Amino acid sequence: MAQYNLTINGKSLNVDVDPSTPMLWVLRDHLDLVGTKFGCGIAQCGACTIHLNGNAVRSCQLPVSAAENTEITTIEGISENGDHPVQKAWLEHDVPQCGYCQAGQIMSATALLKSNPSPSDEDIDNAMNGNICRCGTYTRIKAAIKTAAKSA
Amino acid sequence: MTLIDKKLNRRSFLKVSTLAGGGMMLSFSWLAGCKPTPEQVLTMPKEWFEINSYIKIGENGAVTLFNPNPEFGSNVKTSLPMLLAEELDVDWKNVFVEQADFYPKRFERQFTGGSQGIRSGWVPLRTAGATARQLLVNAAAQTWNVPATEITTNTGYLEHKGSGNRAGYGEVASLAGTLEAPDPETVKLKDISEFKIIGNSKKNVDGSKIVTGKPMYAMDHKVEGMKYAAIVHPPAFGMKIKSFDEASVTSLPGIQDVFSIKLFKEGFERHAFDTTTFPEIIAIVGNSTWEVMQAKKALKADWEIAPESNFKMSGWGPDVSEVKVPSGLENSSTHSEKMAEYITKPGNILRKDGDPEGAFKKASRVIERTYTAPFLAHNPMEPINCFADVKGDKAIIYGPSQIPDFIHGTVANSLGLEKENVQINLARMGGGFGRRAYSHHLTEAALISQRIQAPVKMVYTREDDMTAGVYRPTYSATYRAALDENNNLLALHVKAGGIPESPIHANRFPAGAIDNYLAEGWQIESNITIGAFRAPRSNFIAGAEQSFLDELAEEMGKDPIEFRLELLKRAETNPVGKDNDYDPKRYAGVLELVRDKSNWSNVPNGISRGVSAYFCHNSYVAEVVDVSIKDNQPVVENVYAAVDCGIVVNPDAAANMGEGAIIDGIGNAFYGEMAFENGAPTKRNFDTYRMIRHSEAPKKIEVHFVDNKEDPTGLGEPLFPPVFAALGNSLYKATGKRLYDQPFQPQLIDMKNLRM
Ligand code: FES
Ligand code: FES
């Protein structure tokens, strides 16, 4: 066990966990930030996507020991009131089915739009291909990303 | 106005007062409020008044509607309350929706599966809404001292023109809650033309919670003092636990205990949905998910071959059956060999019309094709998990289950508790697709909690989930057609089976459209567990049948849509045989609609196009798939679907589910496959089990609904089965290669030699 001081969604938080613990489980089990989801544990599904210094990363592969002195953002932190343009576009297109993958999808989409404010279809495919949606909401996700790109 | 079904069960209209004191409300916060969200127009009321099982109204006119069915992504949590709201006659923006827990005394059918949610809720839920509205009217009549028949309602308001009285529902809710509920048989339902909510798209009621990452799933549940559990199951079908070394994990950080649990008591008569691959598994309990997952890897366990076993099963039909689980470690290569033997071996005759044998003898040409598909894993995005808190003689379970009713008795029996003391609360599910109709994980979590006498959350890893069985079976179907010298169809013969079940629906199209018709089925026993997977059996046989009809049309020199329409005309005007279980007119209707919407005969440049149609879950669907070829690989450009599922309650959500079913079908047709070596699943996670991803989804999907006034039928499943053949047939046009075996993608890797 070791003490870590983490900056998550702009807040400074302390945890006492094994250094190998992935951020996914630090967030979910230790900090009660359960919006970040477990899907595969091997960087294949994207359900656990968070931002590390603004970049989309898979939190199931990020040990807590590597997260110190970074800025971490989770789905709970991308907006105060759920009104980030990507969140709004998601609601406008009524994207979710079961909803389980959507936090990860939104985190990948917000990171994409930050670096590329008007992505092409191919840019979207490339940025989003790591996020599986078992329910098959891909066409709506693409449409929502385009809507968000316009409104941002 | 329509009079409601007289057979309606009264249970839904019971008053809570008759139930209070039953000791069931372990966590069921009936009159407690839900949290308001910023978009809500009305604030939370000070007090709620219960009108019936589904409806409570606040003094300020706010309305809470309970969604009885488990939500796994088909959006019943929005569309079922829409049925209530329509007849209650309220403004949708003043409605809060809450998920009901499993509560059989209050709700009749808490079941998500078989595409039956809307269909079975259609009359009962509208009646519950209409009955509640009548109660409010009666309360106003009493208050104003006027006849109830002179009172009208309009979106949350009551009015009596004669006296000039007007009141909001909230003003009479308290009185309405004390009145005797009217006999549902006397309550009239709205005519379709009066609908204000049904047929108008409403957004997912959980949309804001989903996009902000609020806890909603069993996986997100946590209570004070909760422990975490991982499980270890045998590595292969046909194996069981021999021994395990507790000391290999108990000294690891954060680990509290390791033990094995047996899911069923000796001699227990299992329910048909108690399907589980491993009736004994090892549980590791500790302080965090990561720690128990690490311990899982460190656990030293020995496995042995399980001998043949038997158990008694009931709960599906009246009979108790004896189920045999054969011994042995099975291989996919052996499966294929055994299935291929049936191409020439006779099966069981399921339907016979005319003289098929004679027609085949007379034929100048016989076309025979065999289609196969592998086992499939459901792979819902949220791995199997469950929360349970069992203390003394009481159990609370919060778990993802499509059919809590089917596991309730089993959990109680395994725990040695009274059913009344086992409360199952319904979590939103991260997908189901049939997998969570089998709720063994509820029993597992409950047994672990009972053993440690503390609340616990059990979580499967993706590997546990993917290798624990309950798969879509593997199937094979051989179709034969007899043609005369003028290419007229004389007879059709289908022989299809699988491991361990046959996919044949013998009375479906093209039965009824062909004079000489023979359907045979067969099955091969196995210890690989199977279960319902989105549109069971249809999800294979539709692809085989509709691919064969496509090839047949080509051989006969006919347009594939025209050919199907000719057959359907025959089934409509002069049907062959009895018990044809489809309506040829509605079937033809979706083919005509898709022909129109896709502009069928006007194929855009660079596009190859295929069609398919199927009937299942009481609904009709036709689909056209357009593919192009880029960099020697097929790209799905457009999909057009025409659907006849009767009245569509929530059109945009219905389209969303249809799009999902189409993408699901394309993914499984191209990539879906589970295989076995010595009983062990060869794929354990998404690195090897290929799932469809963003770049492989169609560029455009259009879902068109036939506009009619039929009562609603199934929707979650019917768009899935037709995709396989529509895709296969379009790939044939693009490549010149007919695809007979799923998955398609491995056969398309080297397309250089194919026509393009
Ligand atoms: S859980 Fe991290 S990518 Fe799947
Ligand atoms: S919405 Fe269910 S997995 Fe994406």
* CA neighbor of B209 nearest in space, from B381, B428, B433, B386: B428
Last residue of a domain, one of B439, B459, B479: B459
Helix (H) or strand (E) segment spanning residue B388: strand B385-391
Contact A7, A71 (CB under 8 A): yes
Q: Are residues B254 and B203 in the same domain?
A: no
**Maximum alpha-carbon separation in chain A:** 46
**Maximum alpha-carbon separation in chain B:** 85
Domains with residue ranges and CATH for chain A: 2-76 (3.10.20.30), 85-151 (1.10.150.120)
User: Is A136 close to B661, i.e. CB distance below 8 A?
Assistant: yes
Instruction: Establish if B301 belongs to a structural domain.
Output: yes
Q: Pseudo-torsion of CA B461, B465, B467, B468, nearest 10°?
A: 120
**Interface membership of A2 toward B (CB under 8 Å):** no
- Helical residues (DSSP H) of B457-537, grouped into ranges: 462-467
Distance CA B635, CA B348 (A): 40
Amino acid at A33: L
Q: Are residues B596 and B636 in the same domain?
A: yes
Last residue of a domain, one of B426, B459, B492: B459
**Interface membership of A58 toward B (CB under 8 Å):** no
Contact A28, B289 (CB under 8 A): yes
Instruction: Establish if B340 belongs to a structural domain.
Output: no
Paired with B270 in beta bridges are: B313
Q: Are residues B103 and B37 in the same domain?
A: yes
Q: Are residues B611 and B661 in the same domain?
A: yes
Quick one: DSSP state of residue B181? P
**Interface membership of A126 toward B (CB under 8 Å):** yes
Last residue of a domain, one of B410, B433, B459: B459
Q: Whose C-alpha lies nearest to ligand 2, atom 4?
A: A133
Q: Are residues B444 and B563 in the same domain?
A: no
Q: Are residues B124 and B36 in the same domain?
A: yes
Quick one: DSSP state of residue B674? B
User: HSE on the CB side for B198, CA within 13 Å?
Assistant: 28
Helix (H) or strand (E) segment spanning residue B154: strand B151-154
* CA neighbor of A58 nearest in space, from A41, A70, A73: A41
Q: How many helices (H) and strands (E) does chain B have?
A: 17, 32
Q: Are residues B81 and B124 in the same domain?
A: yes
Distance CA B431, CA B245 (A): 35
How many C-beta neighbours within 10 Å does residue A139 have? Answer: 22
**Residue with token string 């299935």:** B339
Distance CA B681, CA B675 (A): 6
Q: Are residues B251 and B181 in the same domain?
A: no
Please tell me which of the candidates A29, A32, A40 has its beta carbon nearest to residue B462: A40
Q: Which ligand ends up closest to the CA of A25?
A: 1
Instruction: Establish if B260 belongs to a structural domain.
Output: yes
**Residue with token string 């089925």:** B521
A105 C-alpha vs ligand 2 centroid, how far in Å? Answer: 9
User: HSE on the CB side for B421, CA within 13 Å?
Assistant: 15
B456-459 vs B227-232, strand pairing mode: parallel
Residue of A nearest to B213 (CA): A35
Helix (H) or strand (E) segment spanning residue B132: helix B117-144
Distance CA B129, CA B83 (A): 7
Under 8 Å CB pairs connecting chains A and B tally to 194
Q: Which token pair is A44?
A: 């294949």
Mean pLDDT of A101-130: 98
Handedness of CA B677, B679, B685, B689 (dihedral sign): positive
Instruction: Establish if B133 belongs to a structural domain.
Output: yes
Q: Are residues B208 and B222 in the same domain?
A: no
Count of domains observed in chain B: 3
How many C-beta neighbours within 10 Å does residue B456 have? Answer: 27
Q: Are residues B646 and B546 in the same domain?
A: yes
Instruction: Establish if B96 belongs to a structural domain.
Output: yes
Quick one: DSSP state of residue B217? B
Amino acid at B444: E
**In what order do the strands lie in the sheet containing B321-325?**
B270-271, B309-314, B321-325
Please, which residues 202-231 of chain B have a Cβ atom closer than 8 Å to chain A?
Answer: 203-204, 206-208, 210-217, 219-220, 222, 228
Helix (H) or strand (E) segment spanning residue B144: helix B117-144
Q: Residue A152's pLDDT is what? A: 65
Q: How many helices (H) and strands (E) does chain A have?
A: 5, 5
Paired with B348 in beta bridges are: B521
Q: Are residues B112 and B58 in the same domain?
A: yes
Please, which residues 340-399 of chain B have a Cβ atom closer than 8 Å to chain A?
Answer: 379-383
- Give the helix, strand, coil percentages of chain A, each rounded to 5: 40, 20, 40
Could you state, in chain order, the average pLDDT of each consecutive group of 10 residues for chain B (756 residues)?
37 35 30 40 83 94 93 95 97 93 87 84 93 97 98 97 97 96 92 96 97 97 97 98 97 97 94 93 98 98 97 81 95 98 96 98 98 98 98 96 93 97 96 96 98 98 98 98 97 98 97 98 98 97 98 97 98 96 97 98 97 96 96 94 97 98 98 98 98 98 96 95 98 96 91 56
User: Is B430 close to A37, i.e. CB distance below 8 A?
Assistant: yes
Q: Residue B109's pLDDT is what? A: 84
Helix (H) or strand (E) segment spanning residue B566: helix B560-573
The CATH number that applies at residue B597 is: 3.30.365.10
Residues in chain A within 8 Å Cβ distance of B212: 35, 75-76, 79, 82, 87
Q: Residue B43's pLDDT is what? A: 77
B394-399 vs B165-168, strand pairing mode: unpaired
Distance CA A104, CA A133 (A): 10
**Interface membership of A41 toward B (CB under 8 Å):** yes
Residues in chain A within 8 Å Cβ distance of B215: 34-35
* CA neighbor of B448 nearest in space, from B259, B245, B235, B226: B259
Q: Which token pair is A89?
A: 């576009």
Q: Which ligand ends up closest to the CA of A49?
A: 1
Residue A125 sits at φ, ψ, to 5 deg, of: -55, -45
What beta strand segments (E) does B215-331 contain?
A: 227-232, 239-245, 255-262, 270-271, 280-286, 300-305, 309-314, 321-325
Amino acid at B527: N
Which residues, other chains included, contact B511 with Cβ-Cβ below 8 Å and sequence gap of 6+? Answer: B351, B353, B517, B519, B576, B577, B580
Please tell me which of the candidates B75, B212, B661 has its beta carbon nearest to residue A76: B212
B213 C-alpha vs ligand 2 centroid, how far in Å? Answer: 13
User: Is B461 close to A34, i.e. CB distance below 8 A?
Assistant: no
Contact B275, B438 (CB under 8 A): yes
Residue B520 sits at φ, ψ, to 5 deg, of: -125, 145
A24 C-alpha vs ligand 2 centroid, how far in Å? Answer: 19
Please tell me which of the candidates A40, A75, A124 has its beta carbon nearest to residue B213: A75
Distance CA B611, CA B622 (A): 7
Ligand 1 contacts CB of residue A134 (under 6 A): no
Q: Which ligand ends up closest to the CA of B428?
A: 2
Please tell me which of the candidates B379, B462, B663 has its beta carbon nearest to residue A138: B663
Range of the domain at B413: 218-310+384-459
User: HSE on the CB side for B377, CA within 13 Å?
Assistant: 28
Q: Are residues B426 and B573 in the same domain?
A: no
Helix (H) or strand (E) segment spanning residue B365: strand B365-373
